[in-house]
Amino acid sequence: MVGMKRWAWVLVVAGVVVIAVGGYVAKLMFAYPKAEVAVAHGSRAPDFTLMDAQGKPFTLSAQRGRRVVINFYRGYW
């Protein structure tokens, strides 16, 4: 009976360690870097270049004079 309690505690501790390590790995997999540039409200957005859905470069400064909606989407897949 005493040996059974010891194994139960070993299993509980092992389970806690597995859950903690799994949570840490999941955090590393889904953590995104924070923005390095802070923009004040009402100021112009900093210029950037990204690839659009067709693989062509999209530069913000080339859109000057047009309305641009920037949607920063965080996907989980």
Average pLDDT over residues 21-48: 78
In a domain, 72, yes or no: no
Average pLDDT over residues 6-25: 91
What value does the mean pLDDT of the chain take? 82
57 phi/psi in degrees, rounded to 5: -70, 140
In a domain, 29, yes or no: yes
The answer to pTM > 0.85 is: no
In a domain, 49, yes or no: yes
In a domain, 54, yes or no: yes
Q: Domains in the chain: how many in total?
A: 1
Per the model's pLDDT, the better-predicted residue between 10 and 41 turns out to be 10
Q: Which domain holds residue 30?
A: 2-63
Q: Quote the CA–CA distance of 11 and 17 in Å, as a whole number.
A: 10
Q: Is the confidence at residue 2, as pLDDT, over 70?
A: no
pLDDT of residue 20: 94
In a domain, 69, yes or no: no
